[in-house]
Structure 1
Amino acid sequence: MSSHEGNWGDLLSGKNAACSVVLSGGVALHAINIYIATTVLPSVVQEIGGLNLYAWNTTLFVIASILGSALTSPTLSRTGARGTYAVAILFFLCGSLLCALAPGMPVMLLGRAVQGLGGGFLFALGYCMINEVFEQRLWPRAFALISGMWGVATLVGPAIGGIFADMHAWRLAFGFIVPVTLAYAWLVLRTLPAGRGNRAAAAPLPLAQLLLLTAAVLAIGLGSTDPRLSVNLASVAVAAVLLVMLVRRERNGKYRMLPRNALRRGSPLLPLYLTIGLLVVGMTSETFVPYFLQLLHGQSPLLSGYLAALMAAGWTLAEIWSSGWQGKRIRLAIVAGPLLVLAGMTALTLALPVNGNGAPGLLVVISLALLLVGFGIGLGWPHLLTRVLQVTPEEEQDAAATSITTVQLVATALGAALAGMLANQGGLNAPGGIAGAQSAAYVLFGVLALAPLLAVFSAGRSAKGLQNTGATEK
C-alpha cells in the first residue's frame, strides 16, 4: 500500500474512476429519491390524505433500508457485486412505480418501503466496497465523494420534486426515477464483473436484532399516531426496553449487526457510533422543513425543497473541505461539528415556528441555520467513518463497512419515528393549521436539539481516542 496521502486525482482517474462513478452513483440515486419524496410529500397529502402518517413515509422507508443494508453482505457473498446491484435496482424500480401509481396513503407507504429496501442496498454497497476497491490512503476521499452525493441530491432532488409539485403532477416525480434507474443499471452492467470473485461467505443475518430494532421503531411510530401524551410516553418506554434487549443480544449473540465488542464499554467504536447516530438523529427534523416553510412562510414547493436541502448542502461542503485534514485538525473537526449542529438547531427552534409570511430576513436566518446544521455534521464525518475502519480488526472489515450504513440508518429510523411523534404531539394534526404547525415546529426542533448536545460528549471521547493512539499523526 502506498504511504503517501491520496488525492482527488488518484481517486478519479485510471481504474479508480469507473468504480468511483458506480459506488457514488448508487448513493446519488438513493439520495435524490429521498429529496424528491421530501419535496412532493406536502402535495401528496393534499391529494390523497394521510397527514397523520406524514412521518411514516420516512420511517418505513428507513426501516426497509436497514433490512436492505443488512442483506448487502450476504447477498454480495452469494451473487457478487453485479448481482447485488441488480437486486437493489429491481426493488428500487418496483417501489418507484408503486409510489407513482398510489391511489391512497397505504399504497404510497408500501411503495416507500419497497423503495427503501432497494435504497438500503445501494447505500450500503457504496460504503461496503470502499475498502475492497480502494487503497486505505484513498478512504477519506472516497467517503467524502460518496457522502458528497447528498450534495448532488440537494441540487437535483428538490428541482425534480418541486417542478412536478408546482405542476400538480407529483406522480411524475416518482415516474421520472424509473428511466434514470434503468440508465444506472446499464452503467453497472458495463462496469462491474459478473460472479462473486474470491469473496468469503458472509455470516448469517442477526435476525433477532433486526426484529427488535424494527419493533422499537414501529412502537414509536404507532404511538405517534395517537394524540394522548400517555400513549406516546408508553410507546417510547416500550421502544427503550426493546433497544436494551437489542444491545444485550448484540453483545452476547453469535451473529451481530456490528463488529465484535463494538457496544461494550471501553470499545473505541462505541463513541464513534454514538457520535454518528446522534448527529443523524438531529438531522431527521429535515423531513418536516418543507411543510413548515410552505405553511408558515408562504414558500413554493420548489423553493421549500431547496431550502430544506441546505442541510445536505452544508454537509457536503464541510466534507469536501475537511476530507484532507490530518492530525490535530481531525480532532478539531470531530469536536467542533456537534457544537455547530447544536447552534443551528437552536436557531431553527427560535426562527422556524414564526409565521413570517415570506419575510426575507427571517428566511435568511432559517437558511443559514439549516446550512449550519449540515456543515456541523459534515465537518468530522469522513474522519469518523475512516476511524471506524481503522480501529476494526482486518477480519471484520466487511462488518465494519456495513455497520457505518447500519448505524446511520438506525439513527434515521429512530429519529424519523421520534420526529413524527414530536410533531403530532406538538399539534401538527390537532389543532392543526398555522397554530398547530407553529407549536409542532417549536417542539420538534427544541427536543431534537438534545441530540447534538449529547454528541458533544461522545465526540470528545472519539477525539480523545485519536489523541491516545496517535493514529492520524504524520
Structure 2
Amino acid sequence: MAESTTARVDWRLLWASGDLARFCFINLGILLHATNETMVATITPAMVGDLSGVELLGWSFAVYEIGAISAGAAAGRMTSYVSLRTNMMAAALIYSLGALICALAPSMPVFLAGRLVEGLGGGALVSLAFVSVQRLFPKAIWPQLFGVMSAIWGIAAFSGPLLGALISQYLSWRWAFGVFVIGGLFAAIACLFVLRGPQATRAQNDGTALPRFPVLALGCLAASIVLIALAGVKVEALRSSLLLGAGIAGIVLFFVLDARLPAARLFPSRPFNLGTPLGNGLTMVAAFSVATCSFGVYGPLLLTSLHGIPVLTTGYIIAAESISWSILSILVANAPPERERVIVLAGALMIAGGIAGFAYAVPAGNIPLILGCAILQGGGFGIAWPFVTRIIVASAPAAEQTVASSAVPTMQRIGYAVGAASCGIVANASGFSQGLSGEAEANVAAWLFLAFLPLGLLGCIAAWRLPPRSDA
C-alpha cells in the first residue's frame, strides 16, 4: 500500500505501487450503480411499450432503492465475516444477475424482480467501495479519494440518462441492461487480480462482538414502501387509503425500531425533532427527496407519449439537472459562513419552484421551460445539500456525528423509494390505472407535480427554521 506523510495524493506513487489501478477499480462499482440508477428514466417509454404495466412504473425505482438501502447497510458488516474481495465479487455477480433478469424479462413483474436484485448488488458495491478506501489506502489521503469518488458519482448521474436514451434509440432498451451484465461480470473477474493482500483477502474481525444487524427495522421499511406502492396499483378509496395508512405507520415504526438499536442504528436519535437544527435538516432532506421524484420516474414517458418529444431530448434534460447540481455546488463551496442559512433557504425555494414549474411546463410540453425547471431544481439541491449536511452533522451529539453523516444519503434513498411509490398512487389515481391514453397522460402530467407541492412547502419551512451557522 502506498504510504503518504502529507495530505496530498502522490498520483505517481499510487500508479507505481499499483494502488491507482486498485482505486480506479473500486470506483467501477460506484459507476455501475449510479449510472444504472439514473439510466432507467430514459428507457421507460420503450420498456413500457414492450412490457406494458405502466401502473407499476414507480415500482422500478422503489424496489431498486429498497435493495440498495438493505444491501448498503449489510455490506460493510459482512467484511467482518468474509473477506473484502469475496464480498466485492459476490456483489458484482448479484448485480450482473439482476441486470440479466431485467434484460430478458418477459413481463413487468419479472423486470421488477431483476431491479430488486440489481439494487442489492449495486448498493453493496457502493458500500464496499467506501470500505475499500478505508481498508486499502492511507488515512491522510482519504479526503481526496472521497472527493474523486463524489466526482465520479456526479459523472455517472448525468451520463446515465444519456446512455439509456442512446442505447434505447439505436439498439434496444434490453441492451441498456446488457451493458451492465457485462460490466458486473468484468468487475467480479477483476477482483481476483486487483484486490490482493491481507487487507483485501482476509476477514477483518478484531474479536469484539459485532452489533446486531437491523433485520427487523429494514424489513419493516421495505414492507412499508411495498404497501405504499400497492396502494397505487388498483386505486380504490377504501383499499388504497388503508394500504397508504399502513405504509406510513410502518415507516414510523421503522424509526422507532431504529432508535432501539443504538449500536447499529441508521439515524441519530430524534431525527425529526423540529426544535433542533438536526431535525429540521433531516426533515428538509426527506421532504425534498420524496417531492422531486415525479419527473425522474414519469417525465420521459409523459414527454414522449404526450408531446412526441424524442427520448434523447429528455435524456439531455435530466442530465442538465445533474450538471447544474454539480456546478452550483462547486460555485458556493467557499461561501462565507454567515451566508450559509440564506444559501440553504435559496436552494429550498429553487427546488420548490422547480416542482411548481413542472406542473405547468410538462402538460404544456414547453421544452425551454422544462429545461429551466430541471436546472432550477438541480441547482437548488447543489447549493443547499452541502450546507444542510454540515448543519445536520455539526448539530448532532458528538457520539452520533458519524451516524448523522451517513444518515443524509440514507434518508435521501428512503425518500426516493417512498417518492417513487407515491408517484404510482398519484399517476394511477389520475388515469394511468386504465393504461396509456392522451386524456390520462394530460391529467397525470399536472397532478404528478401538484400533489407534491405541500411537501415542497414543508421543505422550505424546515430550511427557514435552520439557525445561522454560529447557532448550529
1:423 equivalenced with 2:430 (yes/no): no
Residue equivalent to 1:67: 70
Q: Is the 8 A contact 1:389 1:401 kept in 2?
A: yes
Read off the aligned partner of 1:247 and give its amino acid letter: F
Question: What is the Cα deviation at residue 255 of structure 1?
Answer: 5.6
Partner residue of 1:364 out of 368, 375, 400 = 368
1:312 lines up with 2:322 in the alignment? yes
2:418 to 414, 417, 421: 414
2-side partners of 1:330 and 1:110: how far apart? 43
Aligned to 1:162: 165
Match in the other structure for 1:439: 443
**Aligned counterpart, 1:118:** 121
Q: Cα distance 1:250–1:111, how it changes in 2: closer, same or farther (>3 A)?
A: same
- For 2:346, the equivalent position in structure 1 comes to 336
1:238 and 2:254 equivalent?
Answer: no
Deviations along 1:264-311, whole A, 9 cap, x unmatched? 735553223222222221221111111011012212222222323332
Of 242, 251, 255, 1:247 maps to 255
Q: What does residue 281 of structure 1 align with?
A: 290
In the alignment, what sits opposite 2:30? 27
Which amino acid is 1:194 matched to?
T
What do the CA deviations read for 1:152-175 (whole angstroms, capped 9, x no partner)? 225432333222322352211111
Residue 250 of structure 1: SS of its match in structure 2? helix
1:42 to 41, 45, 56: 45
Tell me the SS of whatever aligns to 2:70.
Answer: helix
Secondary structure at the aligned position of 1:314 is classed as helix
**Residue in 2 aligned with 1:327?**
337
Structure-to-structure mapping, 1:262-301, within 5 angstroms: 262-263=270-271, 265=273, 268-285=277-294, 286-301=296-311
Specify the code of the residue in structure 2 equivalent to 1:258: L
Verify the 8 A CA contact 1:350 1:442 in the aligned structure 2. yes
In the alignment, is the contact (CA less than 8 A) between 1:79 and 1:195 conserved in 2?
yes
In structure 1, what is the Cα distance between the partners aligned to 2:115 and 2:247? 23
SS of 2:271's equivalent in the other structure is coil
Residue type of the partner of 2:251? Answer: L
The Cα RMSD (Å) is 3.2
What letter matches 1:449 in structure 2? L
Unaligned runs of 5+ in 2: none
Shift of 1:129: 6.8
Write the mapping of 1:397-408 to structure 2, written as runs, cut at 5 A.
399-408=403-412
Helix, strand or coil: the match of 1:203? coil
Q: Aligned partners of 1:307, 1:411: CA distance in 2, in Å?
A: 22
Matched to 1:298, the amino acid is G
Question: TM-score w.r.t. structure 1 length?
Answer: 0.85
| SS of the residue 1:78 aligns to | coil
CA contact (8 A) 1:220 1:236 kept: yes
Please name the residue that 2:201 is paired with: 194
- 1:342 is paired with a residue whose SS is helix
Q: 2-side partners of 1:392 and 1:445: how far apart? A: 33
The residue aligned with 1:359 is none
Checking the alignment, whether the CA contact within 8 Å between 2:99 and 2:118 is kept in structure 1 is yes
The amino acid that maps onto 2:369 is V
> Structure 1 CA distance, aligned partners of 2:131 and 2:393?
11
Q: Could you tell me how far 1:20 is from its partner in structure 2?
A: 6.2
Question: What is the CA distance between 1:12 and its match in structure 2?
Answer: 7.3
